[in-house]
Chains A and B, each alone.
Chain A
Amino acid sequence: EAQVTQNPRYLITVTGKKLTVTCSQNMNHEYMSWYRQDPGLGLRQIYYSMNVEVTDKGDVPEGYKVSRKEKRNFPLILESPSPNQTSLYFCASSLAVYNEQFFGPGTRLTVL
């Protein structure tokens, strides 16, 4: 089944404890992206990747890192999480930037 998977689905952590949210797609898509969703603010793009080893900032990249070493994986790294990064995170992929995006199920992160 074609899908985007994210792990973990739920995470509660404390300020400053490094964490990684994984994202994987099995559709051989070139474009991958991370979003955060907050009440009243809609979806905001954090980082995106056009292809392996090609990443760029979205609208809200501060406090996040990403890497794209393999085509299928696009992990989101929070080196020193803070409470303002408490949010619902979505990973998405598409064949190319102009194509339909497929979204993962979301990761709900709480930083205490």
Chain B
Amino acid sequence: DAKTTQPNSMESNEEEPVHLPCNHSTISGTDYIHWYRQLPSQGPEYVIHGLTSNVNNRMASLAIAEDRKSSTLILHRATLRDAAVYYCILREGFGNEKLTFGTGTRLTIIP
């Protein structure tokens, strides 16, 4: 199974950009990179996903390395509401519909 590696925790100051890294060195050519986050006492929520090109949406940006072995979720201006656990997940290719979450990165925002 393709796996991801993320730091256990990170801190950032409010209103500053945050870069959350994810390593996925065994990614295959057809795997999509998904990011979810889980706010305290809530279910996970979708943030963004991509395949090869960098992606932007209203919540965040996703920067994918050229060799696809790593990616970075970018929150452009962190707020207190962005304090959550962020999960980087690989959609494990065609014919395997399992989704494997890791333990994620706990992001703390400092006021």
Residues of A in contact with B (beta carbons under 8 Å apart): 31, 33, 35, 40-45, 48, 50, 56, 58-59, 90, 92, 97-98, 100-106
Contacts and interface: CB of A to CB of B under 8 A. Distances in A.
Contacts of B101: 35, 42-45
A50 B46 CA distance: 19
A100 to B, nearest CB: 4
A102 B42 CA distance: 12
A97 B44 contact: no
B98 A58 contact: yes
B98 A43 contact: no
A20 to B, nearest CB: 19
B99 interface: yes
A56 B44 CA distance: 22
Given A40-B103, A42-B104, A43-B87, A105 B32 contact: no
Interface centre among A33, A40, A43, A100 (most CB of B within 10 A): A43
Interface centre among A58, A90, A102, A103 (most CB of B within 10 A): A103
A100 B49 contact: yes
- For chain A, what secondary structure do more than half of its interface residues adopt (helix, strand, loop), or is it mixed? strand
A48 B46 CA distance: 18
B25 to A, nearest CB: 19
A10 B49 CA distance: 32
* List of 6 A-B pairs having minimum Cβ-Cβ separation, nearest first: A103-B43, A43-B101, A100-B46, A42-B103, A97-B97, A42-B101
Contacts of B44: 43, 90, 92, 101, 103
A97 B31 CA distance: 12
Given A42-B103, A100-B49, 18 more contacts: A40-B103, A41-B103, A44-B101, A45-B99, A45-B101, A48-B98, A48-B99, A50-B97, A58-B98, A58-B99, A90-B43, A92-B43, A92-B44, A97-B91, A101-B44, A102-B46, A103-B44, A106-B43
